Amino acid sequence: MMQVHSLESRRMRLTSGFQQMVKEGGILSLWRGNGVNVFKIAPETALKVGAYEQYKKWLSFDGANIGILERFISGSLAGATAQTCIYPMEVIKTRLAVAKTGEYSGIIDCGKKLLKQEGFKTFLRGYVPNLLGIVPYAGLDLTVYELLKNYWLEHYAGNSMNPGVMILLGCSTLSHTCGQLASFPLTVLRTRMQTEHMMEKGTTAPLIHLIKEIYNKEGKRGFYRGITPNIIKLLPAVGIGCVVYEKVKPILD
């Protein structure tokens, strides 16, 4: 909401943003768009993690020695692969999240109305900045996480190969934060491109024009609009996902 309504939300704080959303659509408005978010997270995460492991094998040549560059490239390619496959759901999620109460009755209704009113191209709107942003985000996220975890295992774990929940939580939170800070300006551009058709009565600005517009109207801080709630959600969202993955992986062999 802060990314889309940037000019209106210069004085918006986290608490006032919650209050405005609850006032407009009730307590359930805080979960608007979460259905498609949950629906897309399974294929997105599976594709990203599976592709990352596969790209590492292809780039390591001997299958053993994997450097930082290979990890970064593998993470970037894995993120790009996953995002390309599920990107239309990203657009629907964003439009549901910023829509007014009652504008869409659900995921299918939103998809049908977007297709009818704006055409198929709307499901690819913002794809370019999204792809540019996923390179530093996924690359840094997966690379930093593995480096931190492996460093701890080599220097502090002794004979144990289990880093423990708290170590995994710390590694995943730090790695995701690095990825978010590097890619967040492109995330803002993606969100603005996904929603500008509904916010500005059908106008669609080129990427360069949008960059100049944000900079001229909001300055450098405009490219980090909404980063505070984004960072706050890291601990529960990324931490739980990463810890569960590490715990389930040995069970499934």
For 41-84, the pLDDT digits (tens) are: 889 989 998 999 899 888 876 656 778 888 889 989 999 999 99
Query: What is the torsional sign of CA 210, 213, 218, 220?
Result: positive
d(CA 151, CA 149): 5
Confidence of residue 93 (pLDDT cuts 50, 70, 90): very high
Q: What pLDDT was estimated at residue 62?
A: 64
What string of H, E and C letters represents the secondary structure of 181-218? HHHHHHHHHHHHHHHHHHHCCCCCCCHHHHHHHHHHHH
Q: Which residue has the higher pLDDT, 8 or 51?
A: 51
Q: What pLDDT was estimated at residue 60?
A: 78
What mean pLDDT, rounded, does the chain reach?
Answer: 85
Cα-only R_g, the chain: 20
Q: 202 pLDDT exceeds 80? A: no
Q: What pLDDT was estimated at residue 43?
A: 92
d(CA 133, CA 176): 13
User: Among candidates 111, 98, 103, 115, which has minimal Cα distance to 40?
Assistant: 111
Q: 246 pLDDT exceeds 80? A: no
DSSP 61: S
Confidence of residue 204 (pLDDT cuts 50, 70, 90): low
Token pair belonging to 209: 């024009």
Domains and CATH numbers, the chain: 14-251 (1.50.40.10)
Whole-model pTM over 0.85: no
Half-sphere exposure of 155 (CA within 13 A, CB side): 7
Q: What pLDDT was estimated at residue 41?
A: 87
Q: 201 pLDDT exceeds 60? A: no
Average pLDDT of 102-114? 91
Q: What pLDDT was estimated at residue 113?
A: 93
Q: What pLDDT was estimated at residue 99?
A: 87
User: How many other CB atoms are found less than 10 A from the CB of residue 24?
Assistant: 10
Confidence of residue 7 (pLDDT cuts 50, 70, 90): low
d(CA 239, CA 166): 9
User: Among candidates 180, 205, 8, which has minimal Cα distance to 126?
Assistant: 205
For tokens 């709307």, name the residue: 122
The percentage of the chain sitting over the pLDDT mark of 70, rounded to a whole number, equals 92
Amino acid present at 243: V
213-227 pLDDT, tens digit each:
889 988 888 899 889
Average pLDDT of 5-15? 66
Note whether 122 and 114 are within 8 A (CB): yes
User: Among candidates 223, 62, 52, 224, which has minimal Cα distance to 140?
Assistant: 52
User: How many other CB atoms are found less than 10 A from the CB of residue 178?
Assistant: 18
The percentage of the chain sitting over the pLDDT mark of 90, rounded to a whole number, equals 25
136-189 pLDDT, tens digit each:
888 888 888 888 988 888 888 777 777 777 888 888 888 888 888 889 999 999
Confidence of residue 199 (pLDDT cuts 50, 70, 90): low
DSSP 63: S
